Amino acid sequence: MSTPVVTCDAVRRTYRRGRGAPTVVALDEVSLAIDAGELVGITGASGSGKSTLLHLLAGLDTPDSGRVTIAGHDVGARSERARARIRLDHVGIVFQRFHLLPALSARANVALPLVEQGVPKAERRERATALLDRVGLGDRTDHRPGELSGGEQQRVAIARALATEPELLIADEPTGELDSETGARVIDLLGELASDRAVVVASHDDAVVAAADRVLELRDGRRTDG
């Protein structure tokens, strides 16, 4: 039996906006386990806790109580620095607004995580080129983000998230800025990528729900299926 790529066990996360402000329970008693080969959709109304859950699954944040493991590492028990290393080695993250560096070419954007990993320059270039090819942008490697469409920018962001060959890919509303046809192609790509890793996508896009192997719905920070 294989170990899940990411797990949550009775996770709770609260926020407080300031002293004296009421505490918001963003996630309450959420448990899940996701295996390689799965495309899992996270749905729920705005404010239901989707982004909070994804931040925990990505190791960007830690729970108030409960346990999150990424590739077997208990992230709540780690320092910020140790979590950054876990993210670099195991997690790729894609955001709604792409978050590409505007002054860099598509290839240089994709190669950035490899700089952090200390991969030599020639290998970075080769791997970034291959990744852009993989996402259908082999002819756009030298373009800057401003010279690319929204759908193309999101593909660059996906290629960048894949650069370190993570076993977990997390995408928060990845089609939120795209028209439905462009979004559908991004979802197809995420589906393909789930064949050999775990992919978790938060979205209220029906196309994500249709493409997912499994859908978890949140309501007020709890799974609707318990």
Q: Name the minimum Å distance from CB 79 to Mg ion.
A: 26
- Residue of minimal Cβ distance to Mg ion: 51
Q: What is the C-alpha separation between 74 and 13, in angstroms, rounded?
A: 16
The answer to whether 224 contacts ligand ADP (rule: CB under 6 A) is: no
50-58, 72-80, 108-116, 191-199 -> range binding ligand ADP (CB under 6 A): 50-58
Question: What contacts 18, CB < 8 A, 6 or more positions away?
Answer: none
The 18-47 site mask, x for binding ligand ADP (CB under 6 A), equals: ------x-x-----------------x-xx
- DSSP secondary structure string, 17-46? SSTTSPEEEEEEEEEEEE-TT-EEEEE-ST
Q: What is the C-alpha separation between 43 and 27, in angstroms, rounded?
A: 14
Q: Which amino acid is at 142?
A: D
- Provide the pairing of β-strand 73-74 with 23-34: unpaired
The answer to whether 15 contacts ligand ADP (rule: CB under 6 A) is: yes
19 binds, among Mg ion, ligand ADP, none (CB under 5 to 8 A by kind): none
15 binds, among Mg ion, ligand ADP, none (CB under 5 to 8 A by kind): ligand ADP
The answer to whether 7 contacts Mg ion (rule: CB under 5 A) is: no
Strands (E), 124-213: 168-172, 198-202
Residues at the contact surface with ligand ADP, assessed by CB under 6 A: 15, 17, 24, 26, 44, 46-52
